[in-house]
């Protein structure tokens, strides 16, 4: 199950999260959003409690969609300590998304469960 967040809960669930959060901006009418859902659930099960997965209905949360300058749906943002570390949009296909998710797993799954903001730059992970 993926936690659904809104403008009201975004700060607490995403910006202030002690672990990195993969935010899936989607909409009910978006066919590609439905297609990638199983891939995201698989990613979540593989990452366990190392990366949090949440969804945001872009239609119902226009302020967030504007803040993060969404150009297309789905758009995935990896947010760590309130900072966008990766932005995934305009997928060219299933393999493209799987490769991007694999890079996130490699970067985050074997790291310590707690970390300090000052150490974030030393992780060697690709940033946005």
Average pLDDT over residues 57-63: 97
Query: Is 33 among the catalytic positions?
Result: yes
Average pLDDT over residues 101-113: 80
Domain range for 46 is 3-110
65-79: per-residue pLDDT in tens? 999 999 999 999 999
Tell whether the model's pLDDT for residue 51 goes beyond 90.
Answer: yes
| Distance (Å, whole) CA 60 – CA 71 | 16
Is residue 30 a part of any domain in this protein? Answer: yes
3-27: per-residue pLDDT in tens? 999 999 999 999 999 999 999 999 9
pLDDT above 70 as % of the chain: 85
Is residue 33 a part of any domain in this protein? Answer: yes
Average pLDDT over residues 34-60: 94
The pTM (predicted TM-score) of the whole model is 0.85
- Regarding beta strands 21-26 and 75-80, do their DSSP bridges make them parallel or antiparallel, or are they unpaired? antiparallel
Query: Is 107 among the catalytic positions?
Result: no
| Distance (Å, whole) CA 37 – CA 72 | 16
Is residue 41 a part of any domain in this protein? Answer: yes
Average pLDDT over residues 37-48: 93
Give counts: helices (H), strands (E), the chain: 4, 5
Closest CA to 83 of 127, 118, 26: 127
Residue 88 binned pLDDT confidence (cut-offs 50, 70, 90): very high
Is residue 100 a part of any domain in this protein? Answer: yes
Closest CA to 76 of 7, 126, 25: 25
Of 35-44, 79-88, 103-112, minimum mean pLDDT range = 103-112
75's CB contacts (< 8 A; 6+ apart) are 25, 58, 68, 87, 88, 89
Average pLDDT over residues 80-84: 96
The enclosing domain of 34 has a CATH number of: 3.40.30.10
Q: Which of 33, 47, 107, 125 is catalytic?
A: 33
């Amino acid at each position: 199950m993926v936690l659904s967040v809104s403008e009201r809960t975004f700060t607490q669930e995403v910006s202030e999260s002690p672990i990195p959060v993969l935010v899936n901006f989607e909409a009910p009418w978006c066919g590609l959003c439905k297609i990638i859902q199983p891939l995201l659930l698989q990613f979540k099960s593989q990452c366990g409690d190392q990366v949090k997965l949440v969804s945001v209905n872009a239609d119902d949360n226009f302020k967030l969609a504007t803040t993060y300058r969404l150009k297309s749906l789905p758009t995935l943002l990896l947010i760590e300590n309130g900072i966008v570390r990766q932005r995934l949009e305009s997928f060219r296909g299933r393999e493209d998304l799987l490769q991007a998710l694999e890079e996130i797993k490699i970067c985050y799954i074997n790291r310590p469960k707690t970390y300090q903001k000052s150490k974030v730059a030393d992780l060697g992970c690709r940033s946005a």
